[in-house]
Amino acid sequence: MKMVLAGGTGFIGRHLCNLLVNEGHSIIVLSRHPDGATAPATVRSRVIQWNGHEDGPWATLCDGAEVVINLSGAPIADNRWTPARKRELVGSRVLTTRALLASITNWKTKPHTFITASGVGFYGDRGSEEVNEGSPHGEGFLAELCQAWEAAANQGETLGLRVLPVRFGMVLGPDGGALAKMAFPFRLFLGGPVLPGSQYVSWIHLTDLSRLILWLITNQSMSGPVNGVAPDSVTMREFCERLGQAMKRPSWVSVPGIILQIALGELASMLTTGQRVYPKRALEGGFTFSYPGLSAALEAVFSDSKTKS
């Protein structure tokens, strides 16, 4: 199939693009910085320029794609959540989604499937309550961001598209993402949980997330939100213990939440609160995780890191 992948040069996009190409699909990658992009070394993938918010020459090349996947979005945790940064985080997700759908409106041959990234932040801070795709949205900036993101994507249904927002948990991979930042203090023997430690971490291995997206593409009966998480959500304290075990490092230097609040402001809430998310729709639909358990997933990540280094 011919597919369009917006945000395909990022941490998740690169891996997904390789998987789709290896499956025989033809991929058009939309990137704001195509000159510095790394794409699979194959004629089945092409990186082209787009600015993320309006039509351009790229639209003609994308016309006729059967699937459009939107992974675009400024990194959530790179800067404090000032009012200007919040507008950037929302705009880089909502406006790109609207731009893609506006372009699709004018395509001669429209896709049948529109997949967009979202996040487990949709559920807000839920303590130890287990939530799934049928649970209501929560409160807070991340919940509002995900709601706006998904609402923009759902407009694709008016075009006759099958819309699938995938709510990502923490994505574990060997070459980027939040795990790389969490692992750094462990390498210095200074690792430990962010207090209170009882907040839940919902996660997924990068390979499984890419496989899940491919599975959703090929399962035409699936539509609506899907939780992109493994079934083994754990507390922050347990996550750091297993991370230390995988890295052969202790997990003993706890980080007080008040310190993060001083350093990061409202962004600290992303680390001091959490969601216990269950992938109900994926499991009921028959998807099989390669890494359903955290320990095996972390061991695979650090094994891959050693192989690449």
Nearest to 112 by CA among 67, 157, 158, 70: 67
Strands 67-70 vs 45-49: parallel, antiparallel or unpaired: unpaired
Round to whole Å and give the CA distance between 17 and 99. Answer: 21
Architecture of domain 2-238+249-308: 3-Layer(aba) Sandwich (3.40)
Bridge partner list, 204: 171
- Supply the DSSP string of 193-243, one letter for each residue: PBTTS-SEE-EEEHHHHHHHHHHHHH-TT--S-EEES-S--EEHHHHHHHH
Q: What is the mean pLDDT of residues 184-192?
A: 88
What's the pTM?
0.93
Residue type, 76: I
Mean pLDDT score, 164-171: 96
pLDDT score for 44: 56
CA atoms within 13 A on the CB side of 108: 4
Instruction: List all residues 6 or more positions away from 144 whose beta carbon is below 8 Å from its beta carbon.
Output: none
pLDDT tens across 250-283, in order?
A: 998 888 777 767 767 787 788 889 999 999 999 9
Write out pLDDT tens, residues 206-229: 999 999 999 999 999 999 999 999
Q: Distance between CA 187 and CA 17 in Å, rounded? A: 30
Can you give the pLDDT at residue 180?
86
pLDDT score at 58 = 86
Which of 9-13, 254-258, 292-296 is least confident?
254-258
Could you tell me which residues are beta bridge partners of residue 156?
none
Please report, for residues 121, 132, 237, 246, the alpha-carbon distance to residue 93 in angstroms, rounded to integers and kept in the order given.
14, 23, 31, 34
- Confidence at residue 238, expressed as pLDDT on a 0 to 100 scale: 96
- Res 69: pLDDT: 97
